[in-house]
Amino acid sequence: MTLRPFVPWPDKRLRTAAAPVDEITDEIHALWADMVETMDAMPGVGLAAPQIGVMLQVAVVDATPDRSRRILLANPTVLMASDEVEAGTEASPNLPGVHAEIVRPKAVTVRFLNAQGVIDRRDFEGLEARSAQHQIDHLAGRMYFDNLGRVKRDMLIRRARKLR
């Protein structure tokens, strides 16, 4: 396992949709292992492969305090989202030092390829749902601040540039 460096914003890879995974190989398992180690070294609760420069639809989520429920996802898509929404703080190691309150569905159902290469479906709620949606956004070339209005988004990016 290897701790991977984060791609810094505004690297174009963060704005590019990742390629789907055809099958779960040893390389994908090794990537997941690196991503879990990298996620565990930061304060976040999920990580998408483009954040570390790998342009594949691969993500990890673990919103438990003791990191006991690692969910490995390939090609995740949201099938259903709850009508109930909630605001929560989001940030990214790709744009350190800033964060924003983002409103997202409180619960989602996600379809994905699991570690055995089988199409799976899982319900996520609360922080786990927020993290899954955040990672799926990354895989589509979106950042969390794309969910803000233009004025708030521009203010956040200006603030981040001042921190560099």
State the pLDDT at residue 162.
86
Q: Specify the CATH number for 12-163; select among 4.10.80.400, 3.90.45.10, 3.40.50.620, 3.20.20.150.
A: 3.90.45.10
- CB neighbours of residue 41 within 10 Å: 11
* pLDDT above 90: residue 19: yes
Residue whose entry in the numeric block shows the structure tokens 């099938």: 79
> In whole numbers, what is the pLDDT of the chain averaged over residues?
95
CA distance 71 to 76: 11
Q: For 61-86, what is each residue's pLDDT tens digit?
A: 999 988 889 999 999 999 999 999 99
Domain boundaries, the chain: 12-163
Q: Point out which residues pair with 8 in neighbouring strands.
A: none
State the pLDDT at residue 123.
98
CA distance 77 to 87: 21
pTM of the predicted model, to two decimals? 0.95
State the pLDDT at residue 43.
83
